[in-house]
Amino acid sequence: MFSKLFRKSPEKAPAENCGLRHIAFIMDGNGRWAEKRKMPRTYGHAAGAKVFKRVIEYCGSIGIEAVTVYAFSTENWKRPADEVSAIMKLFTDYLSEAERSFAKKDIQIHFLGSKSVFPEDVRKRMEALEKASGSKRQILNIAVNYGGRDEIVHAVNELIAEGKTQITEDDITSHLYTKASPSPDLIVRTGAEMRLSNFLLWESAYSELYFTDVLWPDFDERQVDLCVKEFASRKRRFGGV
């Protein structure tokens, strides 16, 4: 599955032509997709996991340097226990696949969010993957047990612990979970909802936002192309005119 991940063709890729370096996905709609098919919500999450792998592979093939996915929020622990358990099983299965596949790939993998809630063995596996891939060029961020407000508080607390008394924007940026990545150029949310849901609140200050009714398990390469096309059509002003 990962053999083509982030592989570029020799010619300039479409995302490079429009300056799209970092795309972030709020992968919404797995449960509703399953319910429409009269299947358990866990079935939708399994389908969504397959789409995640395909989409990040395609993003790399068109020249996107960094991909961030919102896999599990700090609020998602409130979901039914069987659903949470199924999502965590998919996550640990993914860790196993990444451990087998990422050694030869030019990819940094980062897990955004507090790792303290995970069992020690899972936490060590996450940290080992991050360390082993730290010198790689391209970036894959997986936000798990992540919340945007929590991220900002975490950054400020780190700065306080360092003895900082006058804190700047650059200080906070350099202590975020996403410090290894450029700010997201485009945030895509599937599933028809039109909100950020506590995702990349600091980093999204100048991000373009793209909302689609397509449920995540139905999201595919054609949908990515539509996102890139829409991004290319926009004029980013960054507060200017």
The torsion defined by the Cα of 142, 147, 148 and 152, in degrees rounded to 10, comes to: -110
216 is in an annotated binding site: no
Is 28 an active-site residue?
Answer: yes
Q: Are 62 and 227 in contact (CB under 8 A)?
A: no
Ligand-binding annotation for 45, yes or no, is yes
In whole angstroms, what is the distance from residue 241 CA to residue 237 CA? 6
32 assigned to a ligand binding site: yes
Q: Is 191 annotated as a binding residue?
A: no
The reply to whether 21 sits in an annotated binding site is no
- Catalytic site residue from 17, 28, 82, 145: 28
76 in active site: yes
Q: Which residue has the tokens 């899972």?
A: 122
Q: Is 123 assigned a ligand-binding role in the annotation?
A: no
| 237 annotated as a binding-site residue | no
Radius of gyration over every alpha carbon of the chain, rounded to an integer in angstroms? 18
Which one is catalytic: 76, 106, 171, 198?
76
Whether 7 has a binding-site annotation, put simply, is: no
Distance CA 72, CA 85 (A): 12
Diameter over CA atoms, the chain: 55
Residue ranges of the annotated binding site for Mg(2+) are 28, 208
Q: Which residues are annotated as a binding site for substrate?
A: 29-33, 41, 45, 73-75, 77, 79, 189, 195-197
Instruction: List the catalytic residues.
Output: 28, 76
Task: Mark the binding-site residues, compressed into ranges.
Answer: 28-33, 41, 45, 73-75, 77, 79, 189, 195-197, 208
